[in-house]
Amino acid sequence: MSERKSIAAQAAYRERSPADEPAIRALAASAYADSGLRDAVLAAPADAVSLVAELDGEVIGHILLAPVPGPERALALAPLAVLPAWRDMQIGTELVRHALALALQRQWRSVFVFGQPDYYCRFGFKSHTADGAQIACQGPRFLALELQQGALAGWTGSLDYPQPFVDLVSPH
């Protein structure tokens, strides 16, 4: 294992607590210029899957999967952020892996994301899996993953994806 990748193995991936809010706010500020996005990050509902990556007592990454109105027990993955100094060390990858495992354990059925297909395909996200969802901004970066096989099969309907993240990917 390379030294950079072994950092990800040393980090702890745990559920976020109220005490993490300042660190999560700082992380969001480092990743997004838009203040609406930063507020969306902090306003996580109680049943959201929200994890932080912690290394030597410092929060260096955060992921939020929040319930999204649409198909039964669906989540929207938004955002995923790692502090610039700790990027490209597989921290983001481990956050996604741990969050998906926890979501499955809690009987969530599917996850949607706006993201780079090259990044998210490694977890099984596919563009065509999201085809049934009608949202304001469709396109090749709109992806979905079935946590439970067949969760999105045959489903069509509108998906109320968090607006700050739709705005982020919408053409201006």
By CB under 6 A, name the binding residues for ligand COA: 31, 78-82, 87-93, 115-116, 118-119
CB of 131 to ligand COA, least distance (A): 21
How do strand 142-146 and strand 133-134 relate by DSSP bridges?
A: unpaired
Query: Of 70 and 115, which has the nearer Cβ to ligand COA?
Result: 115
Nearest residue (beta carbon) to ligand COA: 92
Q: How far is the CB of 47 from ligand COA (least distance, A)?
A: 20
Q: C-beta of 52: minimal distance to ligand COA in Å?
A: 13
Q: Closer to ligand COA at the Cβ: 91 or 99?
A: 91
**Shortest separation between residue 31's beta carbon and ligand COA, angstroms:** 4
Which C-beta is closer to ligand COA: that of 116 or that of 156? 116
Q: Which is nearer to ligand COA, 119 or 155 (CB)?
A: 119
Record the tokens describing residue 167, joined without a space. 């705005």
